[in-house]
Amino acid sequence: MKVANETKIGALTVIALALLVLGFNFLKGKSLFKSGNYLYARFDNTKGVVSSNPVLINGYQVGAVSDIKAADNSLREIIVELKLNDKYNIPDNSVASINGNPLGSANIEISLGNSSNFLPNKATIKSTNAAGMLSELTSKIGPVADQLKSTLASLDTVLNNVNTILDPNTKGNLQSVIANLSRATGSFVTSSASLDKMLNNESGAVAQTMNNVNSFTKNLADNNSKLTGIMDNMEQTTNHLAKADIDGVVNKLRSSVDQLNSAMTKLNSTDGSLGAMINDKQLYNNLNSTVRSLNTLMDDLRVHPKRYVSFSVFGKKDKGTPLMAPLPQDTTTSIKK
């Protein structure tokens, strides 16, 4: 049987349209035939989730969103159909959440539970409305905005107080302070110039001081041998002092001082002969009287020698009055022959 060309063209057109619809639905994640593994999740806000958005478990894509429809006419809940790429063992206490992304497409993240029972095909998984990036950012910006508002109010109060404090007198005082600060800055510039002059490499006081230090160190280097000899002599002297029996000398000196103290104690006491002679007033008087009598006798012997010694056979004995007291030392008396 011969088929007309028009019939062939019509058949090809139908086939092409069918393939186009099937391919478009496949790209959107839909399938005309409900074959495969499906899960359902209920959300009160889909946050921009559309068909073909990925379904992730631990960052790995296990499927895609195949369909989104309202649970009822009130739109309180929205049912999201999830088509899985394979039959995965997902615990029945796992939770699905929507992760919104303002810079890209949203995705559904399944957080695995710890149950030993797994979700069957076409089961409804538990869901939660996790806060998106914008919601988290808004929740964090809110307290900051409140604090900023409070800070601005405090700043306004501070500025009002500053305006109240800055009366004409205070402004004049501030101008005086600024003028003093300007003069202080000028003085600082002058001081800096003086310091720079002092630190001059050729004529500065610091340079001269360094030259003196260099000269001193050069002299030390030139007289290093002499200093070494002096240090050796000092070392020998200290060695001799270290070897000397200083303790023995100190002990002997202490013993001599003790003996001297004992002798002085005995001299101050009337127990010994020397102490009695020094401390007995009567003995002193007797000795003084004896010396005076001896002086009188010597003067009488000098004045009247004939009374004691005769030098002539025919001479006569001197019968003059004897001296009763010694003569003054400057008295000159003629001697009778």
Distance (Å, whole) CA 290 – CA 280 = 16
Mean pLDDT for the stretch of residues 116-128? 91
Q: What is the pLDDT of residue 125?
A: 92
- Give the residue with greater pLDDT, 174 vs 253: 253
Q: What is the pLDDT of residue 28?
A: 62
Closest CA to 24 of 1, 64, 52, 54: 52
Mean pLDDT for the stretch of residues 124-138? 69
Q: What is the pLDDT of residue 93?
A: 92
> Considering the entire predicted model, what is its pTM?
0.36
Q: What is the pLDDT of residue 146?
A: 78
Give the pairing of strands 123-128 and 78-84: unpaired
> By percentage, how much of the chain surpasses pLDDT 90?
13
Q: What is the pLDDT of residue 337?
A: 43
Q: What is the pLDDT of residue 4?
A: 76
Amino acid symbol at 266:
K
The encoded tokens of residue 290 equal 């004896």
Mean pLDDT for the stretch of residues 307-334? 60
DSSP bridge pairs for 127:
96
Q: What is the pLDDT of residue 42?
A: 92
Q: What is the pLDDT of residue 282?
A: 77
pLDDT above 50 (res 335): no
Q: What is the pLDDT of residue 140?
A: 67
- pLDDT tens profile 34-46: 567 899 999 988 8
Instruction: Give the CA dihedral 64, 112, 88, 52, nearest 10 degrees.
Output: 0
Mean pLDDT for the stretch of residues 177-195? 81
pLDDT above 70 (res 53): yes
Check: CB of residue 64 under 8 Å from CB of residue 81. no
